[in-house]
Amino acid sequence: MRYRRTKFEAFALRFFIASLTIFIIGSIAIKGIESAYVREQQQLQREIQTLKSTIDGLEINKQRLVSFSRLAAIVEERGYTYITDAAASVRDNNSNGVIVE
Q: Where are the alpha helices (DSSP H) in 1-101?
A: 7-66, 68-77
Looking at the DSSP assignment, which residues form a beta bridge with residue 74? Answer: none
**Full domain range(s) for residue 80:** 71-101
Question: Are 81 and 61 part of one and the same domain?
Answer: no
Contact of 91 with 81, CB cutoff 8 Å: yes
Shared domain check, 3 and 24:
yes
Number of domains into which the chain is organized: 2
Residues 10 and 32 in one domain: yes
16 and 56 co-located in one domain:
yes
Tens of pLDDT along the chain (101 residues) come to 678 889 999 999 999 999 999 999 999 999 999 999 999 999 999 999 999 999 999 998 888 777 777 777 777 888 877 666 544 455 555 555 445 44
The H or E element that residue 80 is part of is strand 80-83
Say whether both 58 and 78 belong to one domain.
no
Q: What's the DSSP call for residue 90?
A: E
Q: What's the pTM value of the predicted model, to 2 decimals?
A: 0.50
